[in-house]
Chains A and B, each alone.
Chain A
Amino acid sequence: MTDKKMVETLIYTKSESLTELGTHYCPGCTHGISHRLIAEVIDEMGVREDTIGIAPVGCAVFAYDYFNMDFAEAAHGRAPAMATGLKRVNPDKIVFTYQGDGDLASIGAAEIMHTAGRGENITVIFINNAIYGMTGGQMAPTTLPGQKTTSTPLGRDIEMHGFPMRMCEILSQLDGASYVVRRSLHNVANIRKAKKAIRQAFEVQRQGLGFSMVELLSSCPTNWGMTADEALKWVGESMVEAYPLGDYKVSPEIKGMKKGGGG
């Protein structure tokens, strides 16, 4: 041991890009973790004054109250269309949308598809928790086969209700998409990887390289009928199997970029 003088230092505190308001999310909901990661990335990049977020309809509908920056609220599923307009008239701003699976994969399927197809220079944070949270836990397009929801009490039957949609795989097929990756929030190591991916997505936009999307596998303890800890375990066991993590599309220009910092 050295005899250096030790001083107590602040290591971690709530991000400046989040407001003082406590969120309305249920205990253990990973929306809070995703909000935090986005806020920390914006802090680290120093772009809070130049960022415009777009809130969805769904549990995150009040995201504009929680982020301490410019925010707009879009009609259900139309966040990518709104982001297109905002980015085209403010090309020097960072524009991101924050959307759930009901918003992005169901009612907003057309908007996300065409926004990615046009290669709009925006960032999409896609929260996939395999259920409609706000409306009471009904089946979403991302619900796993056999998963019980309030509208599929016997479990999702693929003959009756079809198959889950894997948005990363679908969007990665579009030439306009530049950076499409899937990460998970079920443990600390994966949360750190998710933060790096969000940083990379924002850097892609900052350098004008086109459409970027980060899908985050998330939990919904209340509607899954689990404790917060059980819900994260279920994400790690069942959801990661159905929605494999990975980089689905990384355009050649991005591969030459310096890796995003943070984490």
Chain B
Amino acid sequence: MAKGRIVVKEMYCKGCELCTSVCPQDLIHMALDQLTPKGYHPAELVDPDGECTGCAICAVICPDSAITVYRMVPEDKVKTTTA
């Protein structure tokens, strides 16, 4: 099971592709078969082997705060931080 996952909010994503260039696992790709309400191809997580670590580097470079990051954390260490 993946250690992390991201959710891209299509309302905010403008398809600038910056997240695709910084992902250390190269798991983010543009969804060329989808369009956002603004008319851009959004970014999406393609992670069939569960390699996403939830490092949040994509969220740090995203200019539109379109990415929400979740990570699996031991129950006794749960705390929400900003990247």
Contact = CB atoms under 8 A, between A and B. Distances in A.
Given A10-B68, A11-B80, A31-B63, A2 B22 contact: no
A18 B18 contact: no
Interface in B67-83: 67-76, 78-83
B80 A7 contact: no
24 contacts: A2-B74, A5-B74, A5-B75, A6-B74, A8-B70, A9-B73, A9-B79, A11-B4, A11-B56, A11-B59, A11-B80, A12-B81, A13-B65, A18-B65, A22-B12, A27-B14, A28-B18, A32-B64, A32-B65, A43-B82, A187-B61, A188-B61, A221-B16, A229-B21
Given A28-B14, A36-B65, A188-B60, A11 B83 contact: yes
Contacts of A25: 63-64
A227 B72 contact: no
Interface of A: 2, 4-15, 18, 22-23, 25-33, 36, 40, 43-44, 187-188, 191-192, 221, 227-229, 232, 262
Taking chain A's interface residues, is the majority helix, strand, or loop, or is none over half, making it mixed?
A: mixed
A6 B75 contact: yes
B69 A11 contact: yes
Contacts of B78: 7, 9
A86 B4 CA distance: 44
Contacts of B68: 10, 12-14
B57 to A, nearest CB: 5
B64 A229 contact: no
Q: Which of B12, B18, B68 has the most CB of A within 10 A?
A: B18
Interface residues of B, number: 39
A6 B65 contact: no
Given A15-B65, A191-B60, A229-B21, A8 B71 contact: yes
Q: Which of A10, A44, A192, A221 has the most CB of B within 10 A?
A: A10
Interface in B43-57: 54, 56-57
A25 B75 CA distance: 39
A188 B61 CA distance: 6
B17 A28 contact: yes
